[in-house]
Structure 1
Amino acid sequence: MKIAPKNVVSLTYDLYVDQDGTETLVESATQEQPLTFLFGAGQMLPKFEENLSTLSTGDAYDFQLSAADAYGEYDDEAVANLPKEMFDGTDVPEIGSILPLQDNNGNRFQGQVVSVAEDAIIVDLNHPMAGQELHFKGNILNVRPATEEELSHGHAHGADGHHAH
């Protein structure tokens, strides 16, 4: 079956990024644990879906996304100073740790602690893969029509259309 909006796609992938001139595997989805998603529902990077849009069950793929088409260019301005009082009563986070954050509108996102000053925690709000070209290789395992429930929920319920219990 060919991939189209309102279809559920299950696929394997290996994601490579360039680290110091060497292509390094950073993430995978296997046949045992595939990535399953509702195509066209806005859950995936738009250019990722665009590259898959001509494929069918059983097809292999291999494509690259520029940083601009993936998680954006690295933004030097996307760094926040969080007052240490925010962590009152809890341990001050270590450099490199990932903090779950929320903005004034309730949007959730993550920031990585880059330094700890005397009165502030400096957090990098860029996506961990910002500024990187992504290289995806994989296979389309299955394409099926989404169920009514999946369409109403706006996401896939697994490779077979049911929630895992």
Structure 2
Amino acid sequence: MNINSNTVVSLTYELHTTTPEGQQVFVEKANEDQPLVFLFGVGMMLPKFEEHLLGLKAGDEYSFELSPADGYGELDATAHVDLPVDMFKEAGELPKVGDVIPLQDNNGNQFRAGVTGVSETIVSVDLNHPMAGKNLIFAGKILTVREATADELSHGHAHGVDGHEGH
């Protein structure tokens, strides 16, 4: 079976980015013991990631690179905000530079932001995605491809490699 809309895909991958000097930097991986499993074609994955996998089948290997525009976007120099320290007092301790903290917008959408500075009154955060501005280099192997179950289609996500994992 080939990867197409409404199929459940399990795969391995290694993700690398590149430094400005062109050297590859390892980011993360999924192996055969803990593969990435997802419902193809429902918007859970980057569109260009799925485009590169379309039509592949179990056993196929893949390797491709996504530009920032096809990944998590270019860096937005204006996507920084200063938050009052009081927002963090309930947690007991202030975040530190380099921490990634959970935030919520006015519509209740949750996201993460990187802490870039901390003073007595302000916590400065970068709202860019951590992978924004980076080329994403993927390489891996398709492990399985199967038709999604009716439950998976109605829920909009995969229920594991075999379709029987609950939530």
Tell me the secondary structure at the aligned position of residue 109 of structure 1: strand
Match of 2:5 in 1: 5
**Does the residue aligned with 2:9 lie in a helix, a strand or coil?**
strand
For residues 91 and 43 of structure 1, what CA distance do their matches in structure 2 show?
A: 34
- 2:43 match: 42
Q: What is the CA distance between 1:61 and its match in structure 2?
A: 0.4
Question: Counterpart of 2:100?
Answer: 98
**Superposition pairs of residues 110-125 of structure 1, within 5 angstroms:** 110-125=112-127
In the TM superposition, 1:79-98 aligns within 5 A as 79-89=80-90, 90-98=92-100
Decide whether aligned partners of structure 1 residues 33 and 164 sit closer, same or farther in structure 2, where only a CA change above 3 A counts. farther
SS of equivalent residue, structure 1 residue 158: coil
Measured on the aligned residues, the alpha-carbon RMSD in Å equals: 1.2
Unmatched runs of 5 consecutive residues or more in structure 2: none
Structure 1 residue runs of 4+, over 2 Å off? none
Query: Whole-Å Cα distance in 1 between the matches of residues 147 and 30 of structure 2?
Result: 21
- The residue that corresponds to 1:31 in the other structure is 32
CA distance in 2, matches of 1:54, 1:159: 19
Q: What's the TM-score once normalised by structure 2's chain length? A: 0.95
Q: How many residues align?
A: 165
Q: Percent identity among equivalent residues? A: 56
Question: How far apart, in 2, do the equivalents of 1:122 and 1:149 lie?
Answer: 43
Moved more, 67-76 or 110-119: 110-119
> In the TM superposition, what whole-angstrom CA distance separates every residue of 1:2-56 from its partner, at most 9, and x where no partner exists?
0010100000001010024211211100011000000001000000000100211
CA displacement, residues 65-108 of structure 1 (integer Å, 9 cap, x when unaligned) = 00000000011111111111111242111111111000010101
C-alpha distance in 1, partners of 2:166/2:40? 20
Mapped to 1, the partners of 2:101 and 2:45 lie a distance apart of: 23
In structure 1, distance between residues paired with 2:55 and 2:144: 14
CA 1:145 to 1:139, structure 2 compared with 1: closer, same or farther past 3 Å?
A: same
Q: In 2, distance between residues paired with 1:162 and 1:120?
A: 47
1:58 is matched with which residue? 59
User: What residue in structure 2 maps to residue 152 of structure 1?
Assistant: 154
